[in-house]
Amino acid sequence: MTTILKFNDIRKSFGELDVLKGIGLEVNKGDVVAILGPSGSGKTTLLRGLNFLERADSGSIVFDGVQYDAAKATKKEIRALRMKTAFVFQNYNLFANKTAVENVMEGLVTARRVRKEEAKAKALETLEKVGMLDWANHYPIQLSGGQQQRVAIARAIATDPDIIFFDEPTSALDPELTGEVLSVMKTLAQEGMTMLVVTHEMKFARQVATRTVFMENGVIVEEGPTKEVFEHPREKRTQEFINRMEMDDF
């Protein structure tokens, strides 16, 4: 197993509030890591920090063998890292002035200078994969939330990233629409895509994640193979959280 991402002692505070109090983790190729935890535990901040959408105050990131200073990475370094990663947002963030297929092509044509025809073929291929081929020429505003998120996932995978960060990808969706998004993510996981998923979907975490991380108050409370964390948690707080969340599923 090769390590694709490793970070150490990531710290971040907003004013007086310490959101991340020294977080570290190692992610192997093909891992699907579910990051669970109550709201305000720092999950999203961590994910955003790993992609430099948020600047950590300190810490180090090793991605694909290259070391980055989580606080002081240069624009050039950040761009290099982003070329090999992808991010799926809670509220999709599709480009509103572009059609579905154009949304997927953008990262290829503009950022990677792929020829237009080639990019279009690739974009249509990924749209087909997420079941959105028939909607290729629709604008985001014409799509449902679940459809928008599937296009966003197509946009993420079109550039062949080494890892995809998912920030609560189904939290903004109506319950009946989460299934279509989760099933796309499940397929990706089965194909060996490395994924870091901040989520509240306990069922998804249990079924799909190879490893589960439980965060609370800016620290990792517990981390391990999903089955272990869910069935034999070492920490009482983990147990309580899982019980509480799974209760909600009924």
Partner 1 sequence: MDNSVVSLMLDSFWKILKPGLQMTIPLTLLSFAFALVIATVTALVQEAKIPVLRQLARFYIWVIRGTPLLVQLFVVFYGLPSLGILIEPFPAAVLVFSINEGAYSAETIRAAIESVPRGQLEAGECVGMSWLQTMWRIILPQALRTAFPTLFNSLISMVKDTSLAANITVTEMFMQTQRIVARTYEPLVLYIEVGIIYLLMCTILTKVQAWGEKKLNARGYQRSAA
Q: How far is the CB of 113 from partner 1 (least distance, A)?
A: 10
Q: How far is the CB of 95 from partner 1 (least distance, A)?
A: 5
Determine the Cα–Cα distance for residues 190 and 198; give it in Å rounded to an integer. Answer: 18
Q: For residues 71 and 109, which CB has a smaller minimum distance to partner 1 in the complex?
A: 109
Determine the Cα–Cα distance for residues 57 and 47; give it in Å rounded to an integer. Answer: 14
Q: How far is the CB of 132 from partner 1 (least distance, A)?
A: 16
Determine the Cα–Cα distance for residues 127 and 153; give it in Å rounded to an integer. Answer: 9
Q: How far is the CB of 87 from partner 1 (least distance, A)?
A: 4
Q: For residues 95 and 207, which CB has a smaller minimum distance to partner 1 in the complex?
A: 95
Q: How far is the CB of 138 from partner 1 (least distance, A)?
A: 8
Ramachandran region, residue 9 (left: φ > 0; alpha: ψ -120 to 50; beta: rest): left
Q: For residues 82 and 206, which CB has a smaller minimum distance to partner 1 in the complex?
A: 82
Q: How far is the CB of 163 from partner 1 (least distance, A)?
A: 12
Q: For residues 89 and 204, which CB has a smaller minimum distance to partner 1 in the complex?
A: 89
Q: For residues 163 and 242, which CB has a smaller minimum distance to partner 1 in the complex?
A: 163
Q: For residues 115 and 227, which CB has a smaller minimum distance to partner 1 in the complex?
A: 115
What is the contact surface with partner 1 in residues (CB under 8 A)?
51, 53, 79, 82-83, 85-87, 89, 91-99, 106-107, 110-112, 139-142, 148, 152, 155-156, 159
Collapse the DSSP code of 88 into the 3-class scheme (helix H, G, I; strand E, B; otherwise coil) and give the result: strand
Q: What is the DSSP string of 133-200?
A: GGGTT--GGGS-HHHHHHHHHHHHHHT--SEEEEESTTTTS-HHHHHHHHHHHHHHHHTT--EEEE--
The sheet that has 211-216: what strands, in order across it? 85-88, 163-167, 195-198, 32-36, 211-216, 219-225
